[in-house]
Amino acid sequence: MTGNEERIRSLERQLAEAQATLKQIGKALLNFEARECLYLSCEMEVLMEHPTIDDTGAVYRGISAAMGRLGGMAERITEMAMLAHNAAGPDVEETQSVKLMN
């Protein structure tokens, strides 16, 4: 086996390890987001089903907090999608458009 072949095999192993790690991170993030959404759903259900005149402020604060959390989740999911996309390498279309621009 030549030095180049060894280097290629080493890089392939590293890539496989990185992809496996990325997959685990993605699963963990999805599990976290699912649990957070379930918690928010239960919290909002309680607030919406049992409001009283005195609870109006609490309901509003709960809705505002839930919207903020959901916005944060959307940002994290978008970041993960971008990381996965970048880890996969450039798309054919991206490569072609870069060639056209040059």
Specify the pLDDT at position 102: 46
Out of 5-19, 48-62, 68-82, which region has the weakest mean confidence (pLDDT)?
Answer: 48-62
Specify the pLDDT at position 53: 58
Residue range 47-75: mean pLDDT, rounded: 74
Average pLDDT taken over every residue of the chain: 74
Domain chopping of the chain, boundaries? 3-89
Specify the pLDDT at position 88: 62
Coil, strand or helix at 45: helix
Q: Is the pLDDT of residue 17 over 60?
A: yes
Give the pTM. Answer: 0.44
Question: What are the angstrom distances between the C-alpha of 15 and each of 6, 77, 88, 98?
Answer: 14, 22, 10, 24
47 contacts 59 by C-beta, under 8 angstroms: yes
d(CA 61, CA 64) in angstroms, rounded, equals 5
